[in-house]
Structure 1
Amino acid sequence: MNKLLEAVIENNRRWTKDGKVATYIPELGKADQDAAGVCIITLDGEEYNGGDYKTKFTIQSISKIITLMLALLENGRDRVFSKVGVEPTADAFNSIINLETKNPQRPLNPMINAGAIATVSLIEGETSEVIFNRILNFTRKITGNPDININEDVYQSEKKTGDRNRALAYFMRSTGVIEQDAEEVLDVYFKQCSIEATCRDIARIGAMLSNDGVLPWSGERVVPRNIARIVKTIMVTCGLYDASGQFAVEVGVPAKSGVGGGIVAAIPGRMGIGVYGPALDARGNSIAGIRILEELSRELDLNIF
């Protein structure tokens, strides 16, 4: 399997030349555009790696599945989905159009920025620090990595340049979607996006979801089966923003991307996959990461449909 992964990396590394690293968050622009890595973790504990799988990157929007799980655990599905919908969007992940014209009462889904910010506002805690620490500790548990932390430089960079996210948050505050102080909610959101991980870490998140909420390496259940299934379903329909439909056709697995270059995939009953490639396509998804997953889907017959 390791030989297959190395071959897949080499087959698809060339795609990095056709993408660009994210620069609207200045710190992300420092990533190596040519980097590409992959990790597979099976449900029986086997681990396979290829390429730049040890490289750390900030998980960015991959954090949205983590906060969605926490929000569902604490609030239940009815409360969460009264604040945020579950419908796909054809607009960009940071668009404000849907909030203004389609459904001013709630964002379309938890995987776009507006929906993720609304989701964060549902997580319990008296201060933003307490709330973020709960997110961080949950992330450490589901990755089995107690050393995971934020990249302080990326966090500060996001906070200084996050004007679009502020616009989304304050708009939702004005319509009652967000009931807390908008800046407090945003501070948590900027920090969760700045959590730093490797392909192995996110592959473990994928493995937990593919195992219906049970950690494969310990047997501990961390989320109920129904929550794991809700999250995987939303990953299929919304996980790669406005490219989710095409990804479902070409790859056919639940997945979530982030502009830091990571993509986590959960293949039900089989494995979790983490890929990394900071060169992004026009929709904000790892251009090499998608191609890596396409080839793996063909070679390992991963498509769930």
Structure 2
Amino acid sequence: MEPASELDRIQQLLPDWLAASRRLTPTGKTAAYIPGLAAAPRDALGITILGGDGKTASFGDCALSFTLQSISKVFTLMLALMERGEDVVFSKVGMEPTGDDFNSMLKLELVEPGIPFNPLINAGAIVVSSMIPGNSPEEKTERILAFFRELAADPALDYNREVYRSESATAHRNRSLAYFLKDNRVLEDDVEEVLDVYFKHCAVEVTCSHLARMALVLAYDGNDPLTGRKLIPQRCVQIAKTFMITCGMYNASGEFAIRVGLPAKSGVSGGILTLVPGRYGIGVIGPSLNSKGNSVAGVHLLETISTELKWSMF
């Protein structure tokens, strides 16, 4: 008999680990400021871990659908880098964490030259959205969807119309950011057209399996180990993973790096995409958020698994 694999062991331990983390869900809140996200089940928690051989471990509410939100920013960044190159992208967005909230306008006005500090805060991601190739918002969105579908291995992947409309109708802060960037000549395109692209890629609907599949490509430096295809240049993945470590968990990124030690990106729907380099892609959903906008139970679950299995990169 073959010895049990690590994923087999994880599958056996997940029920207890997940039950312990789920107890934290009452301490958080769903993202009520976006009406389309407010109704998510607060006590939900699920995880899918996908290995390079196609084997999985999963448990909990991993079949729950949710929208990518800020997780999408990692992939639009890589798409912009692939299409426009580093020099163009980083002439418009910086490479540094901010220490501020993800939707803050503060440093745009205080720090020269007035470009967003990094591509994973809202201001930076809006600028990145303007760099996606296409002659119209519809063409840009189709280009993004095609890229996401390829990475998730699901040609039916699409954005959630209700969440998109909800975000668009209530995005007063994001509009303020975008118009400020326009006034600073950082954003050159029509503001409403850029925001349309941004809201749609944030509203792309996924499950934990999709996240794990997308993360697996990053874990293997842009190669899809399940098909043998090269989907993203290694340099683009390297840049994205560095931003995930430094900025991916909002202004709790340093704490996450210490406690979990893996590249990750969260979204206010409660999703977390993370990876173990060269081994696993991981998708987590837990809609109850802590004060930093991260899944309170999801972060705890990832800390437990990483600690128990010594997964930290550091």
Name the TM-score, length of structure 2 as normaliser.
0.96
- The Cα of 1:90 is off from its aligned counterpart by 1.0
2:261 maps to 1:252: yes
**Contact 1:43–1:271, Cα closer than 8 Å, also in 2:** yes
Q: 2:15 aligns with which of 6, 9, 33?
A: 6
> What corresponds to 1:18 in structure 2?
27
Residue 128, structure 1, aligned to residue 134, structure 2? no
Distance 1:209 1:275 in 2: 16
Q: Which runs of 5+ in 2 are unaligned?
A: 1-9
SS at match of 2:228: coil
Partners of 1:281 and 1:33 lie apart in 2 by 12
TM-score, normalised via structure 1 length: 0.98
* Contact 1:87–1:109 (CA under 8 A) maintained in structure 2: yes
SS in structure 1 of the partner of residue 282 of structure 2:
strand
Deviation at 1:147, TM superposition (A): 1.5
What is the aligned partner in structure 2 of residue 163 from structure 1? 172
- Are the counterparts in 1 of residues 97 and 117 from structure 2 also a CA contact under 8 Å? yes
* Matched residue, 1:176: 185
Counterpart of 1:231 (choices 228, 233, 240) is 240
Deviation of 1:104 after TM superposition, in Å, equals 4.3
| Distance in 1 (alpha carbons) for counterparts of 2:186 and 2:39 | 35
| Letter matched to residue 176 of structure 2 | A
1:200-211 alignment runs, 5 A limit: 200-211=209-220
Q: CA deviation at 1:216?
A: 1.9
Q: Match of 1:87? A: 96
Provide the aligned C-alpha RMSD in A.
Answer: 0.8
Counterpart for residue 102 of structure 1: 111
Work out whether residues 207 and 272 of structure 1, in 8 Å CA contact, stay in contact via their aligned partners in 2.
yes
Structure 1 window deviating more from structure 2 (293-302 vs 251-260): it is: 293-302
Q: Would you say the 8 A contact 2:107–2:114 is kept in 1?
A: no
- Aligned partners of 2:67, 2:307: CA distance in 1, in Å? 28
The answer to whether the 8 Å contact 1:57/1:196 transfers is yes
Partner AA of 1:105 in structure 2: G
Q: Which residue of the other structure, out of 291, 299, 303, is the alignment partner of 2:300? A: 291
SS of 1:24's equivalent in the other structure is coil
Task: Give 1:14 shift.
Answer: 0.6
Deviation at 1:86, TM superposition (A): 1.1
Paired amino acid for 1:118: V
Larger radius of gyration: 2
What is the CA–CA distance in structure 1 between the aligned matches of 2:111 and 2:53, rounded to whole Å? 45
**1:197 Cα deviation after fit:** 0.2
Matched residue pairs, number?
A: 305
Report the equivalent of 2:7: none
Deviation of 1:68 after TM superposition, in Å, equals 0.3
Residue in 2 aligned with 1:78? 87
Give, in whole Å, the separation in 1 of the partners of 2:240 and 2:89.
12
Query: Percent identity between the aligned chains?
Result: 50
Contact 1:88 1:238 in 2 (8 A): yes
